[in-house]
Structure formats: C-alpha cells, structure tokens
Amino acid sequence: MTMVTLSVGLDYHPGSVQVCVMDPQGKVLANGTRANCAEELNRVARTFGERIRAAVEVSPGAAHLAHELVTQFGWSVEMAHPGYVARIKQSPDKTDFGDAKLLADLTRVGYLPKVWLAPPEIQDLRTLTRHRAELTAQKRATKLRVRALLRNYRLVGPANAWTKAWLAWLRDEAPLPEHARWVMERHLGEIERLTSEIKLVERRMADVTKDDPFVQFLMSQDGIGLVTAVTLRAELGRVDRFRNAKQMSRFCGVSPRNASSGARQADAGLIKASNPELRRVLIEAAQRLIRFDEHWVDFYKRMRERGKPYCVIVAAVANRWLRKMYHELKTLAA
C-alpha cells in the first residue's frame, strides 16, 4: 500500500457522499457515490493509501462527519467555504462528480478556502446560543404583530410600549373587537411563553459556562453580560486561531470594508461576511460601553465633537474593544 498523501474531496449530502480520491499528481483514483457513513468512506480511501487529507464543504451534518473521520480513523479533514469554492469553480455546470473532484484538487494544490472546524463542545454550545437567538427573534416578531394589530384599530396606549402600565392597558382596557381581542390574547400568551423559554436557556448557558475562564473573563468587563460572553465563546471558539486582532474583528463583522482605488482611500461601511447574531451582540455591547465605561464614554464624546454619526462611533467602539479583547484573551489562553 502506498504511503503518499492522498487528497480526498467529499461532496456531502444527508443520504450519501460523493468521494473523489486523487494522487499527488492529480490523477483521479476513484470518484463515486458512497453511503453517508464514516466507515464506508474510510474503506474506500484506504484502498489507495494510508495518508489522507480530505476536504468537505460546510453544510449541516458535514462537521459531524468530519469529526468522525478525524477521531475514529485519523484523517486530516478541512472544512471548505462553499461560497469561495463556487467562485473558484467558474463553471455554469454543477455535478457531484465535479464538486468532489474540485475539492480534492484544491486540497492537493493547497488552494482550499478553509473554514475552522470547531470542536464538538463548541458546536454544541453554538446550538444553545443559536436556539436562544431564534427564540428572541420569534418574540420580537410577535411583538411587532401586537403593534400592527393596534395600528389597524388606531389605538395608542397611555404609556410607553411594553411597560407595565402599557401592558395593563392592553390586557384590560384596549377597545378591541371580539376577534381582535382573541388574537391579541394569543399573541400575549406567546410572548409570555417565549420569555420563559429564553430565561430557561439563559440559566442553562450560565450553568454550562460557570467554569469557563473565557466567559468569566468577558463577564468581568464593564457592560458585558452573559449572553454577549457566551455568544462570543460559541462563535469564536478560541482566539488563537486568528492570526491577529484585525482578522478576528473582520470575522465578527465590526471592521470597516476597504473601498480604495488608486489615489482614493475610503471605507464602505462594515463588512457583510459575518454572523449577523455575533455582530448584533457586539453592537449592543458597544452601546452599553459608551454609557457605562469611562474610557469609551470619553471616546464617544471626542468622536461626537468631530462630527461622527452615532452609528459610526458605536461600530468603532465595537471594533476597538474586540481588538483589545483579542490580546487579553490570547494571554488568558496561553
């Protein structure tokens, strides 16, 4: 059996995997559909050699398969960014045969656009934080339906929305027709249910991260609470996987996008290629920092004196705070 390193491309599907095995010279040794089973994939690849470097595009379930191949069979598996792989392909045709071959070839020549393969415990924590994000999105949408229903009947409460006084008026005094009242009660019941679920998730988040130094250090910072700290832990995993603070900031979506050309040097807002929930919690954290942290309060005042808009200042605070945290968290990890 040969001891050369084989390049393997895996085009993942829930029911099957297209497997392309390629030698160092680019010769395709095998390219066919196999069952979505780590043992079967290992059997196919090991037919041609022992040293295996594989690639699979990010998709639901692909990371779980990659971990099985790494931990059970000793493969070296890298996750590929599907968007960048599609740009590299530059072909209108799409087949599983071609996709697996492209992944194997990119792995062979070292041009694979990689995505970090998070360990199982981080993936599990992401499941928890993203579940909370889904619940908060559902709660926000239900609140919007409540406000829309009131607008339909031209009703305005006696106090600010969602205060105790406003909710008491809504439940007991708002002059809604019979069916609208019934729908309103369903909405309010759903909001109460979602609120309880969110609190339950947050208690679980606090319990599973109570001994995590990453989370506890972040929570010791002014303006940073449990949700922000755990979300950063789940999405970043570990900071030493980034080359520098700027790369981590760009990953989080709080770094400005460069739009320079020739003599013109300019920014074009925040970069879009990031996790929206991660960016949201960082922007909210920055809004708290400019209210409660003396250093960032002074920074905010200086920027306002220079005529900078509020949204630009908040994004700048999020960017600078995150870069500062990069160095401190990296020291903590060491």
Label the pairing between strands 28-35 and 51-57: unpaired
Nearest to 117 by CA among 185, 169, 68, 189: 68
CATH architecture of 5-115: 2-Layer Sandwich (3.30)
Q: What is the mean pLDDT of each run of 10 residues along the chain (334 residues)?
A: 82 95 94 95 92 94 94 94 87 88 94 91 94 96 97 92 93 93 96 97 96 94 92 93 91 80 68 83 94 92 93 93 92 68
Task: Encode 174-209 in three state secondary structure.
Answer: CCCCHHHHHHHHHHHHHHHHHHHHHHHHHHHHHHHC
Q: What are phi and psi of 220, to 5 degrees?
A: -80, -10
Residue 92 is predicted with a pLDDT of: 80
The β-bridge relationship of strands 16-22 and 256-258 is unpaired
Residue 265's pLDDT is 64
pLDDT on residue 81: 92
pLDDT, residue 193, reads 97
Predicted TM-score (pTM) of this structure: 0.85
pLDDT for 256 equals 81
Give exposure, 264-288, as e/b (b: 16+ Cβ within 10 Å). eeeeeebbeebbebbbebbbbbbbb
Tokens encoding 11:
């085009």
Distance CA 286, CA 165 (A): 30
Those residues whose C-beta lies under 8 Å from the C-beta of residue 252, and which sit 6 or more positions away, are 235, 236, 274, 275, 278, 279, 282, 322
Specify the pLDDT at position 334: 52
Query: Which amino acid, one-letter code, is at 199?
Result: K
pLDDT for the residue 266 = 61
- For strand 51-57 and strand 76-80, is the pairing parallel, antiparallel, or unpaired? parallel
pLDDT at 264: 67
- In this predicted structure, what is the pLDDT of residue 262? 67
